Amino acid sequence: MKGWFGRGKKLPAGDSDLRENIPNHIAIIMDGNGRWATRRGMPRIAGHRAGMNKVREVIRACDELGVRYLTLYAFSTENWKRPRAEVDYLMRLPEEFFRTEINELVERGVQVRFIGDVTQLPTYTRETVTQTQRLTADNSGMVVTFALNYGGRAEVLQAIRHYAGQVEAGMTTWEELTEESLARYLSTFPAPDPDLIIRTSGEQRLSNFLVWQSVYSELWFTEVLWPDFTNTTLYEAIRDYQRRKRRFGGLK
């Protein structure tokens, strides 16, 4: 199996202390592609292409830092409301991205997962999802999860339905239901809850992203639009996380 490629790689001068308290799981709401393009007099799809290139850089940076889990909000259940041409382009991006990046992902030992209702995606997008998961399934390095046609409330509802099915089949009971047991039915399982959630573009909300898993996540918002997101921005978010005191409702 391909192992954890990134841990221990040399960081740029002045950033070597970042590994002292690296978030185990970082989740990112990649926002601002359309505004980035509009401000430059370009079509919105140009912003999505620029955003796709940024995904490559962030995966590399997190791998080199030793981040164990990276979850990226790529397409929400609400994004279908966008213009048809834009949605069609967004559905083609995974095919293009993984065609060019799959070799490096395998070499780095990255395991790629997808969460969300992929059954509603176009055939060519579903085929990309299936093939990418198959090619990286045996990798034991960083787990990169793409939330594609994903909604946090829908995920919780689906988990409850699955649990109810187990009750109906006589495999468990409602009395045995706990937060821990229900979490096993979430699409993110067995990944831990995110330690740090980053949102770009100045918006300060989660927008139906990981609504169950985010209850004790540290939130970090930036005015930077996603295509302008750099390693320096990532390091800034991590340094801010490292200065925080995480009490989980208790005292230290």
User: What is the per-residue pLDDT across 60-69, written as a single tens digit (0 to 9) for each?
Assistant: 999 999 999 9
Segment 239-244 shows an average pLDDT of 95
Segment 92-96 shows an average pLDDT of 95
pLDDT band per the 50, 70, 90 thresholds, residue 2: very low
Q: Is residue 88 part of a domain?
A: yes
Per the structure, the count of domains in the chain is 1
Segment 16-40 shows an average pLDDT of 92
pLDDT per position as a tens digit, 142-177: 999 999 999 999 999 999 999 999 999 999 999 999
Q: Is residue 232 part of a domain?
A: yes
pLDDT band per the 50, 70, 90 thresholds, residue 212: very high
Among residues 222, 218, 215, the alpha carbon closest in space to that of 242 is found at 218
Q: Is residue 71 part of a domain?
A: yes
Quick check: is 31 catalytic? yes
Task: Give all strands (DSSP E) within the chain, no chain letters.
Answer: 25-29, 69-76, 111-115, 143-150, 196-199, 218-221
Segment 20-30 shows an average pLDDT of 95
- Note whether 146 and 59 are within 8 A (CB): no
Question: What pLDDT does 5 receive?
Answer: 43
- From the list 24, 79, 208, 231, the catalytic residue is 79
Q: Is residue 222 part of a domain?
A: yes
Radius of gyration of the CA atoms of the chain, in A: 19
Identity of the residue numbered 191: A
- Collapsing DSSP to helix, strand or coil, 143 comes out as strand
Q: Is residue 229 part of a domain?
A: yes
Q: Is residue 121 part of a domain?
A: yes
- Domain carrying residue 84: 22-151+193-241
CATH number of the domain at 104, please. Answer: 3.40.1180.10
- From the list 15, 21, 24, 31, the catalytic residue is 31
- Collapsing DSSP to helix, strand or coil, 53 comes out as helix
Residue 181 reports pLDDT greater than 90: yes
Structure tokens at 176: 């045995």
Q: Is residue 248 part of a domain?
A: no
In the numeric block, the tokens 């198959």 are attached to 134
pLDDT per position as a tens digit, 100-131: 999 999 999 999 999 999 999 999 999 999 99
Q: Is residue 180 part of a domain?
A: no
In the numeric block, the tokens 């796709």 are attached to 52
Quick check: is 228 catalytic? no
